[in-house]
Amino acid sequence: MSGNTITSTVAEATRTAPGAASRRTSLALSGAVRELDLKRGEFELAVQLGYVRTVPGETGVRRVTRAELDRVRGEEDFPDSLRKRVQVMGTRDGAALMGVSPARFTRFARLGLIVPVKWYVNRYQAVVWLYLAEELRQFATGEANAPLLAGRTPQGVRDQLDGGLDLRPRNWRGRHLGFRLRETDDLWAKAAVVASHLDPAQVEETVRDPYERAELYRLRPTQAVPGSPDSPAARIAARITTADDDDEIGWLRADLAQAVVEARRYRPAPGAPSEQPAGPPGGVSTRQEPPMRADPTSSRGMFGWLCRGSS
């Protein structure tokens, strides 16, 4: 066999090797960040919000196709328009954008009227919630919200706030759950996302098979928090990421039971027998994201207040 023939054969094998076409037509996420001229945090949020679509790579790691990069770069006013859509603000800047005091802004967030998209623990071990600037602008310019921006908070709502009502963690969990579910096509990974917002004891009560629980824990996404697992920041993260009220816990457990049933049909967990019981009895939800509660009293109370004006 001649040298030219060998070279040609190797080249042909390279062209037809599994994943070679994927590498030619897509980029790793780090490369996509550079191509789109975004900061890493901006890119991650753009992916979570669906502004930049990803596809699974040959090893399961998400990638961005070159066609998708061309689509995003071809949008009007790129990259400024994309950066504007993923801009986040804390309480002080958000309040200034909406033309209200930081205290009023915080009340909106605790009532669930505005929903955080990210959070972090600062050096003082305080949670800093971040919100999409685009959503704050929409809230501030909504005609129905005018009474909220200037009027007095009704006494009943003030009493609930004084009693500790704070829907920020729950609403962040609901939003984050949706983000995570869209990041994977693997049914066991989807079930692990749901399980990640439940206490381990609740997971054990819901998923009886130890092999299935092991698979959920193996695929369980983690929240990046600096410091050791027993650090104050880690404990704060655990409180935020874990459901803590009965209706949310019940909702997540029902979804987890259903997700495991669907994943089991897709493939058994490693080590588990192929035939498994259908899971704990009771109703099962097919929804993927817990509802974000904007009303602490009833389904129409806060929005009725918007229509009536304030006292």
Question: What pLDDT is recorded for position 11?
Answer: 43
Q: Is 235 exposed, middle or buried (0-12, 13-18, 19+ CB in 10 A)?
A: middle
Quote the tokens at residue 84: 């504007």
38 contacts 30 by C-beta, under 8 angstroms: no
Global pTM reads 0.79
pLDDT (0 to 100) of residue 272:
77
Task: State residue 297's pLDDT score.
Answer: 38
Residue 191 to residue 265: CA distance in whole angstroms: 13
Q: Residue with structure tokens 């209200």?
A: 100
pLDDT averaged over every residue in the chain: 83
Tokens of 121: 């623990």
Q: Does 302 have pLDDT greater than 50? A: no
Task: Report helix angle 246-266 to 187-195, nearest 10.
Answer: 160
pLDDT score, position 226: 67
Cα angle for residues 155, 291, 168 (degrees, 5° grid) = 55
Widest Cα–Cα separation across the chain: 91
pLDDT band at 157; cut points 50, 70, 90: confident
| Average pLDDT, integer, range 48-58 | 91
Whether residue 73 has pLDDT greater than 70: yes
Q: Sign (positive/negative) of CA torsion 40, 233, 127, 165?
A: positive
For the stretch 74-104, pLDDT in tens is 999 999 999 999 999 999 999 999 999 999 9
Strands 62-65 and 118-121: unpaired
More confident residue, 24 or 220: 220
Cis? peptide before 79, omega within 30° of 0: yes
Spatial contact of 10 and 52, defined as CB atoms under 8 Å apart: no
3-state secondary structure (DSSP) of residue 55? strand
pLDDT at 289 over 70: no
Average pLDDT for 134-155: 89
What pLDDT score does 275 carry? 57
Q: Residue 12: is it exposed, middle or buried by C-beta count within 10 angstroms (0-12/13-18/19+)?
A: exposed
Residue ranges of alpha helices (H) inside the chain are 3-16, 20-25, 29-35, 40-48, 66-73, 80-85, 91-98, 102-111, 133-141, 146-150, 155-162, 168-182, 187-195, 200-206, 210-219, 232-241, 246-266, 301-308
State pLDDT tens for residues 214-236: 999 999 987 777 667 788 888 99
Q: Is it the case that residue 139 has pLDDT exceeding 80?
A: yes
